[in-house]
Amino acid sequence: MFIVIVMIIVTLKLVANLVANDQFFLLIFSLRGVKVRSLWYFVHWLLGSGITVAGVINIYIGLHAYHAKTSRSVKLWTILFTAEVAAIAFIYLFQDRWDYMKKQGVILGEEQITPTDHATPPRINKNQKELGVLLQMVES
């Protein structure tokens, strides 16, 4: 919990300094391709991920403290929370690869897979050692 509070205070201090220097809007509304904008997105992602990880750790620490104080079993709650975190992590990682999988021809319906328009490169035989033979294959 202490880590989350410190991160929030540091973030608020950073935003207050940027607003005071009129640089806050430069960070948010800068044009694409500008170094400051990519830095802003990286800091935003890093801060969000850090707060998320700190929250998960805080819940596990809270479950452990509850068990230490009451001597009651928290095994079920630990298993349920672990399953929830695993499901969220899977969805987070899966959504990043969804477009890639669709582009690779993974079809979930009954549609037929059509061949591509480009030609596949010829396979090179291990016995063909001369450079001239290899160049002929590439050119044709």
Task: Show me where the domains of the chain are located.
Answer: 2-73
The answer, yes or no, to whether residue 113 has pLDDT greater than 60, is no
Q: How far apart are CA 73 and CA 106, in angstroms?
A: 45
3-state secondary structure the chain: CHHHHHHHHHHHHHHHHHHHCCCHHHHHCCCCCCHHHHHHHHHHHHHHHHHHHHHHHHHHHHHHHHHHHHCCCCHHHHHHHHHHHHHHHHHHHHHHHHHHHHHCCCCCCCCCCCCCCCCCCCCCCCCCCCHHHHHHHHHC
- Does the pLDDT at position 29 exceed 70? no
pTM: 0.51
Cβ neighbours for 73, distance < 8 A, ≥ 6 positions apart: 67
Over the stretch 46-89, which tens digit does the pLDDT of each residue have? 888 899 999 999 999 999 999 999 999 999 999 999 999 999 99
Residue 24 vs residue 95, higher pLDDT: 95
Q: Are 124 and 137 in contact (CB under 8 A)?
A: yes
At 117-130, the pLDDT tens digits run: 555 665 655 555 55
